[in-house]
């Protein structure tokens, strides 16, 4: 998973000013301090993402230097000689344009960009059918819960059809940048383990090869290689659960937990 800039770069507010058209500066949900590379030379630019567009901003005066809608995005290319450099291919007024940037955590930036681009496409166009497979999740109580696993451009998406909705609702998202490993269960022909943040979730699907193969391809697209632990048994996964130290309770509060599963 590596060193993550997520806490520093991704937020739900911004102090930027100078946005054209009186836009609300709080619309930015992520921003990255990058270096723009062009025929003019190289210079610092803040690459900022909102739900509807993405911009480059001059960090000296926080003026927006360029702004694009997600519909203008065509593709991106990774620099094979520099792990920090990538190029966005965009629709221009007359021909395709290129935006070449350098960022230390390239995969994190592209993951967030693809997440917002995909979300925007859901509301503005007819997106292609998702890559997904039916599965069951092994809960912490040892029960199996039916679910859908979607291989999205930015990560693995866990969905369930809830009693309150007719369509599958997103309950959890595993960005490829945050996945520690994906490993088959050796004593099951359908079992697989997804490790993330030191935790592990077990799923069962008859499309295990389809799931692993497409996750590997999606992760490689942003320059990542998903690790594996070879093979794990269900007993090894159960034994590897983190043990929480029981500490003396100093204070407690009665609360009510809200979740989409129990709305």
As a whole number of angstroms, the distance between CA 115 and CA 99 comes to 19
Of 205, 177, 202, 174, nearest to 189 by C-alpha is: 205
Q: What is the pLDDT of residues 184-200, one digit of tens each?
A: 999 999 999 999 988 99
What pLDDT was estimated at residue 117? 94
Architecture per CATH, domain 26-121, reads as Roll (2.30)
What pLDDT was estimated at residue 166? 78
Q: What is the pLDDT of residues 210-234, one digit of tens each?
A: 999 999 999 999 999 999 998 899 9
- Provide the whole-model pTM: 0.82
Structure tokens at 73: 């995005």
What pLDDT was estimated at residue 262? 56
Residues pairing with 208 in the sheet: none
Q: What stretches in the chain show pLDDT beneath 70?
A: 1-26, 242-246, 260-263
What pLDDT was estimated at residue 176? 97
What pLDDT was estimated at residue 2? 46
Q: Where in the chain is the domain with CATH 2.30.29.30?
A: 26-121, 133-248
Of 224, 188, 234, 194, nearest to 4 by C-alpha is: 224
What pLDDT was estimated at residue 50? 92
Domain 133-248: give its CATH code.
2.30.29.30
Pairing of strands 64-69, 73-78: unpaired
What pLDDT was estimated at residue 22? 42
| Under 8 Å between Cβ of 47 and 103 | yes
């Amino acid at each position: 998973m590596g060193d993550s800039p997520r806490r520093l770069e991704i937020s739900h507010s911004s102090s930027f000013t100078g946005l054209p058209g009186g836009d609300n500066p709080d619309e930015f949900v992520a921003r990255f301090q990058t270096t723009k590379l062009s025929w003019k030379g190289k210079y610092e630019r803040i690459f900022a993402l909102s739900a509807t567009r993405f911009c480059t901003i001059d960090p000296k005066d926080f003026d927006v230097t360029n702004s694009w809608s997600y519909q203008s995005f065509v593709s991106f290319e990774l620099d094979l000689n520099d792990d920090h450099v990538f190029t966005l291919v965009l629709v221009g007024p007359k021909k395709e344009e290129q935006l070449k940037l350098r960022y230390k955590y390239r995969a994190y930036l592209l993951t967030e960009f693809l997440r917002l681009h995909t979300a925007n496409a859901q509301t503005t166009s007819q997106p292609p059918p998702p890559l997904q497979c039916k599965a069951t999740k092994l809960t912490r109580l040892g029960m199996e819960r039916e679910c859908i696993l979607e291989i999205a451009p930015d990560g693995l998406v866990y969905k369930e059809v809830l009693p309150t909705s007719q369509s599958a609702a997103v309950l959890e998202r595993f960005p490829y940048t945050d996945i520690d490993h994906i490993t088959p269960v050796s004593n099951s022909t359908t079992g697989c383990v997804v490790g993330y943040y030191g935790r592990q979730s077990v799923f069962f699907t008859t499309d295990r090869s389809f799931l692993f193969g497409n996750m590997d391809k999606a992760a490689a697209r942003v320059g990542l290689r998903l690790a594996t632990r070879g093979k794990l048994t269900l007993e090894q996964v159960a034994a590897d659960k983190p043990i929480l130290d029981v500490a003396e309770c100093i204070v407690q509060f009665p609360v009510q937990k809200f979740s989409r599963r129990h709305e």
